[in-house]
């Protein structure tokens, strides 16, 4: 052991240990430990700026004098940290090429749906249509943002008149809707009609529903009908030809103006009507049977009748009528229950008598059609 020399300082215990561990002749396992523990400490990570990611799905919809903004809040910040606290949303509105004016603020949590209603001032609800541009900024607790959202567009100017007097009438070809006609501002104007099927718990039945659509196709639960204005203006009426009978529907309608301003398509909706409910009870008979023919079958002592089948889905069957040719009223000769096939054999005809026949169709609601065109036939007398 070497003697201690004046001026020399003993090494700290930790340093002596590190020197021993890191000596060139140390064992391989100790050398690996030295490599892991003898390096310098890494630089600290920069603090998070906590800037929410800008919104990319901002949408604007003007109804009457209010612009409704909707979007979805981001879940993370620009440095990919989860947003845990409500974020302040700064809403900005710009008229044409003017400055962006703050119209309000709101707070929403990360990942939540966001919404804001901008009630337009009087100067923006009159006159010709002008482009409105909306953006929002998501600001952190220091009032900083990563930038504005993607822009959404609407329009200032006069909105279409509110929809008043909506009413409906059930017809064989659909529902005829009427409303109070009104003048509209410039632009491609139309009435937008929304129909919703009311689901009824007691609707579980085997009854076939007759539809106005071709081939009895079932109408969808939700439907929209756009009625464009003609040159003469608001038509004040429209036919919904796609309903099913024996159902209940609600209808709501509003006027719509569609424009393109500075290359951006925008839409202004008027205030919607009150909802109306219509029960489409089937009081309309099936089509009248066609092509009735009568043929005497002497060997069977019968007169056979046939006609073209009706394909309506709610058809129950047919009723056959007969009268003495050129005299007396027609009487029902088919059974009390309607016959299902488009044919009937009259086994009660008396030989030598001339008879006039007609046929009607009847549906599940008991609606009976007009009778077909009459045909006449005589069962010949039997030979000797």
Fold entry, domain 290-378: Immunoglobulin-like (2.60.40)
**Nearest partner of 296 among 338, 342, 357, judged by Cα:** 357
pLDDT at 35 over 70: no
User: Using 50, 70 and 90 to split pLDDT, how confident is the model at 183?
Assistant: confident
Q: Which CATH superfamily is domain 59-156 in?
A: Immunoglobulins (2.60.40.10)
Question: What's the confidence (pLDDT) of residue 47?
Answer: 56
Residue 277 has pLDDT above 80, yes or no: yes
Give the per-residue pLDDT at 238.
Answer: 94
Give me the mean pLDDT over the 236-253 stretch: 92
Question: What pLDDT is attached to residue 379?
Answer: 92
Q: Tell me, what's the pLDDT at 182? A: 85
pLDDT of residue 52: 95
Is the pLDDT at 123 greater than 50, yes or no? yes
Q: Does the structure show a pLDDT above 80 at 31?
A: no
pTM above 0.85, yes or no: no
Average pLDDT value for residue range 33-37: 42
Would you place residue 221 in the very low, low, confident or very high pLDDT band (cuts 50, 70, 90)? confident
Checking if the pLDDT of 39 tops 70, the result is no
In the prediction, which pLDDT does 49 show?
77
Q: What is the mean pLDDT of residues 180-208?
A: 72
pLDDT band, very low/low/confident/very high, at 8 (cuts 50, 70, 90): very low
For the chain, the three-class secondary structure string (H helix, E strand, C coil) is: CCCCCCCCCCCCHHHHHHHHHCCCCCCHHHHHHHHHHCCCCCCCCCCCCCCECCCCCCEEEEECCEEEEEEECCCEECCCCECCCCEEEEEEEEECCCCEEEEEEEEECCCCEEEEEEECCHHHCCCCCEEEEEEEEEECCCCCECCCCCCEEEEECCCCCCCCCCEEEEECCEEEEECCCCCCCCCEEEEEEEEEECCCHHHCCCCCCCECCHHHCCCCCEEEEEEECECCECCCEEEECCCECCCEEEEEEEEEEEEEECCEEEEEECCCCCCEEEECCCCCCCCCCEEEEEEEEHHHCEEEEEEECCCCCCEEEEEEEEEECCCCCCEECCCCCCECCCEEEECCCCCCCEEEEEEEEEECCCCECCCCCCEEEECCCCCC
pLDDT-based confidence at residue 326 (cuts at 50, 70, 90) = confident
pLDDT band for 205, please (50, 70, 90 cuts): very low
pLDDT for the residue numbered 29: 43
Q: Mean pLDDT check: name the lowest of 80-89, 152-161, 203-212, 260-269.
A: 203-212
Measured distance CA(238)–CA(242) in Å, rounded: 12
pLDDT value at position 6?
Answer: 44
Report which of residues 205 and 52 the model is more confident about: 52
With CA atoms as reference, report the closest residue to 103 among 120, 85, 86: 120
Q: Is 50 exceeded by the pLDDT of residue 102?
A: yes
Does the fold of domain 290-378 match that of domain 167-201+209-279? yes
Q: Which CATH class is domain 167-201+209-279?
A: mainly beta
- At 232, the pLDDT band (50, 70, 90 cuts) reads confident
The mean pLDDT of the chain is: 85
From the centroid of its chain, how far is CA 202?
24
Domain range summary for the chain, segments of one domain joined by +:
59-156, 167-201+209-279, 290-378
């Amino acid at each position: 052991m070497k003697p201690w020399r004046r001026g020399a300082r003993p090494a700290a215990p930790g340093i002596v240990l590190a020197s021993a561990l890191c000596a060139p002749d140390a064992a391989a396992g100790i050398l690996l430990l030295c490599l892991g523990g003898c390096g310098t400490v890494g630089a600290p990570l920069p603090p998070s700026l906590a800037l929410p990611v800008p919104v990319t799905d901002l949408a604007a919809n003007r109804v009457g004098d209010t612009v409704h903004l909707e979007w979805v809040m981001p879940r993370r910040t620009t440095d990919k940290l989860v947003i845990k606290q409500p974020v302040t949303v700064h809403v900005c509105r710009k008229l044409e090429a003017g400055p962006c004016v703050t119209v309000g603020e709101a707070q929403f949590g990360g990942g939540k749906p966001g919404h804001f209603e901008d009630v337009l001032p009087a100067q923006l609800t009159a006159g010709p249509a002008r482009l409105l541009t909306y953006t929002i900024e998501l600001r952190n607790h220091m009032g900083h943002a990563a930038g504005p959202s993607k822009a959404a567009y609407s329009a200032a100017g006069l909105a279409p008149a509110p929809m008043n007097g909506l009413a409906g009438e059930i017809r064989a070809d659909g529902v005829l809707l009427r409303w109070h006609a009104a003048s509209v501002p410039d632009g491609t104007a139309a009435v937008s009609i929304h129909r919703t099927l009311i689901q009824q718990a007691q609707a579980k039945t085997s009854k076939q529903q007759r539809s106005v659509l071709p081939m009895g196709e079932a109408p969808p639960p939700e439907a929209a009908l756009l009625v464009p204005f003609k040159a003469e203006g608001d038509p004040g009426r429209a036919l919904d030809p796609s309903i099913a009978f024996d159902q209940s529907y609600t209808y709501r309608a509003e006027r719509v103006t569609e424009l393109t301003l500075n290359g951006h398509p925008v839409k202004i909706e008027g205030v919607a009507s009150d909802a109306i409910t219509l029960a489409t009870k089937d009081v309309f008979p099936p089509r009248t049977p066609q092509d009735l023919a009568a043929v005497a079958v002497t060997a069977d002592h019968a007169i056979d009748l046939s006609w073209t089948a009706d394909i309506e889905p709610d058809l129950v069957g047919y009723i056959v009528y007969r009268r003495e040719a050129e005299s007396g009223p027609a009487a029902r000769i088919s059974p009390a229950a309607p016959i299902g096939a488009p044919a009937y054999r009259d086994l009660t005809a008396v030989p030598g008598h001339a008879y006039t026949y007609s046929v009607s169709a009847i549906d599940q609601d008991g609606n009976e059609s007009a009778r077909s065109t009459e045909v006449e036939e005589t069962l010949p007398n039997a030979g000797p």
